[in-house]
Amino acid sequence: MHWTLSHMLLDLVHNSVQADARLVRIGMHQEANQMTIRIEDDGKGMDPEQQKRALDPFYTEPGKHPGRRVGLGLPFLVQTMTATGGSYRLHSEKGQGTTLEFRFDPGQIDCPPLGDLAGALAAMVTLEGDYELEFHRTVETGGEQIEYRVSRSELREALGELESVQSQSLLWEFLQSQEAEL
């Protein structure tokens, strides 16, 4: 079970990387009573039948999760959006990639907390694979918009490799500082 939105987001991005995406774009936009999250990738994509099965909690792509026959990322998202009065849109084309967008009120009582977004982002950029990840977060309060952007390639350029404990610590501190300014 995903106990924070950050866990859910990490799981969804992991799906994109496992679908052989070379580019994953994540946008988070937050206003007073609404958050919109959009994840776009250029991975394998899904045909309509695969999209339907992806929403079934008792289905997972064969071989994706050794030892279990369930895939819960999208079903948990749908459950969360239903419970909070939010909405989601899934668009995918075989061979063209997938776009998932969901909107909800983060202050709604049944909405999970955001959690450690900096930690989730650090995990996203260190997933195994040859991919670029671009993240853009904006928060609007009182007519003012605050934002930050990060990309896997820029982080790799600044830190060298991202997998060592030292790099992970610096990465988390940097991402935490970006979140603190929001």
158 C-beta neighbours (distance < 10 Å), count: 13
Half-sphere exposure of 103 (CA within 13 A, CB side): 7
What pLDDT score does 64 carry? 53
Tokens, residue 63? 């071989």
Scanning the chain, the segments in alpha helix (DSSP H) are: 5-18, 48-54, 73-84, 117-125, 152-159, 165-180
Give the dihedral of Cα atoms 7, 46, 35, 79; nearest 10 deg: -60
Rounded Cα–Cα distance for residues 66 and 21 (Å): 21
What pLDDT score does 60 carry? 66
CA distances, 152 to each of 45, 155, 156 (Å): 22, 5, 6
What pLDDT score does 117 carry? 97
Q: What is the torsional sign of CA 155, 157, 162, 165? A: negative
Strands of 31-118 (E only): list them. 35-41, 87-93, 97-104
- Identify the domain containing residue 131 by its residue range: 5-180
Query: What's the number of domains the chain is made of?
Result: 1
pLDDT, mean of each 10-residue run, the chain (182 residues): 84 94 98 96 95 82 50 83 94 96 95 95 95 98 94 96 92 96 91
CATH code at 166? 3.30.565
Rounded Cα–Cα distance for residues 56 and 53 (Å): 5
What pLDDT score does 71 carry? 54
| pTM (whole model) above 0.85 | yes
Closest CA to 53 of 66, 64, 38, 67: 64
What pLDDT score does 133 carry? 98
What pLDDT score does 129 carry? 94
